[in-house]
Homo-oligomer: A and B are copies of this chain.
Amino acid sequence: MCTSICYTSTDHYFGRNLDYEIDYGQKVIIVPRNYVFNYRDMPAQKSHYAFIGVSVVNDNYPLLCDAINEKGLGIAGLNFQGPGYYFPQIKGKKNIASFELIPYLLSNCESTAEVKEILADASISNVSFSSNYPAADLHWILSDKTGKSIVVESTKSGLHVYDNPVNVLTNNPEFPSQLTKLSDYVDVTPSNPKNTLVPNVDVNIYSRGLGTHHLPGGMDSSSRFVKAAFVLSHAPKGKDEVENVTNYFHILHSVEQAKGLDEVENNRYEYTMYTDCMNLDKGILYFTTYDNNRINAVDMYKENLDAEDLICYDLFKKQDINYIS
């Protein structure tokens, strides 16, 4: 499935691991201010904030996985199959199709506070983009320049917006249960553990790092949630952009899914297809992919953000090895 974080140093860095078994040909895209959005149940929007992110592009429409806008609001959609539920269009509500949620919020909001307002009378509708693209069950993490995050979940009991104090999201179960899970690992520590098991016995602490022994290392969403929360919470702050970006990728790579570990059907394995890192303050998107360890970067401000057409870059590239000799 996926893991998303918001890491704060001098700037704020938002993004995710996309874990899946099928490559949908995602691209890095920039949606400039005058690209027109025709919504299913809301008026068309001819101008809006520009944004940059990772997206499938179909019929010139951006089916976004994750993106940030020029105001520093970031959103990522993560698999939420099971608890996730979308509603038929409801009269009197702002009906946002699930695939419209990212572009709609990035087009119109500067912050998670504005998102909360705009979602107060909204419902996520079960309208598909097309019969080829049925609505995927998702929930969303949103972060902004305050360094704080929220989670949006649409379940049978309605649309929920939760504050997210750990700045991490993975997948199931529902977000409050994920938070509760942290309690089971609350004593994990970077420090050497104290002996409270058998206090009067001299226990041989045979390894460094034993304070982290109970940290889960699985591919499942709970394991990734707990581990990413720990790694993010203890990550150092870099002294410049490159060091921050470096730290960020180490956090997400610590919950990366290598190939072969998560069999979703016979001989088909989910793995971390890409990892991106978007600087909410500077509008730069950095990424690595499974097949290319080198960090690539796209700066949205290097493009004409007043354009009308989507701007696309290849995401999936060959391993770019530097042969020294």
On A, residues with C-beta under 8 Å from B are 1, 28, 82, 165-166, 171-173, 177, 179-180, 182-223, 226-227, 229-231, 233-236, 242-243, 245-247, 249-251, 253-254, 256-264, 269-270, 286, 288, 290-291, 293-299, 302-303, 313, 318-325
Contacts and interface: CB of A to CB of B under 8 A. Distances in A.
A296 B322 contact: yes
Contacts of A313: 324-325
Interface of A is mostly: loop
A-B pairs, top 8 by smallest CB distance, nearest first, are A217-B217, A209-B219, A189-B196, A212-B218, A234-B260, A187-B193, A209-B220, A294-B294
Contacts of A243: 291
A223 B215 CA distance: 9
**Which of A189, A200, A243, A270 has the most chain B CB within a 10 Å cutoff?**
A189
Q: Within the oligomer, what is the number of copies of this chain?
A: 4
Contacts of A296: 321-324
Nearest to A242: B319
22 contacts: A173-B207, A180-B206, A183-B204, A183-B206, A187-B195, A188-B197, A198-B230, A199-B233, A208-B221, A209-B221, A212-B219, A213-B218, A213-B223, A215-B216, A231-B258, A253-B258, A294-B322, A295-B321, A295-B322, A296-B321, A297-B322, A313-B324
B204 A210 contact: no
A182 B197 contact: yes
Nearest to A252: B258
A189 B189 CA distance: 14
Given A198-B229, A217-B223, 12 more contacts: A82-B204, A172-B207, A188-B196, A198-B233, A212-B223, A212-B262, A215-B218, A235-B260, A246-B293, A250-B256, A295-B321, A296-B322
A320 B258 CA distance: 23
Contact of A233 (B197, B205, B209): B197
Contacts of A186: 193-197, 203, 205, 210
A159 to B, nearest CB: 15
Given A182-B197, A294-B293, A297-B324, A235 B208 contact: no
Given A207-B221, A213-B222, A261-B190, A246 B324 contact: no
Contacts of A204: 82, 179-180, 183
**Which of A177, A218, A234 has the most chain B CB within a 10 Å cutoff?**
A218
A227 B256 CA distance: 13
A236 B290 CA distance: 13
Contacts of A261: 190, 209, 212, 230-231, 234
Given A213-B223, A322-B295, A324-B313, A254 B251 contact: no
A315 to B, nearest CB: 10
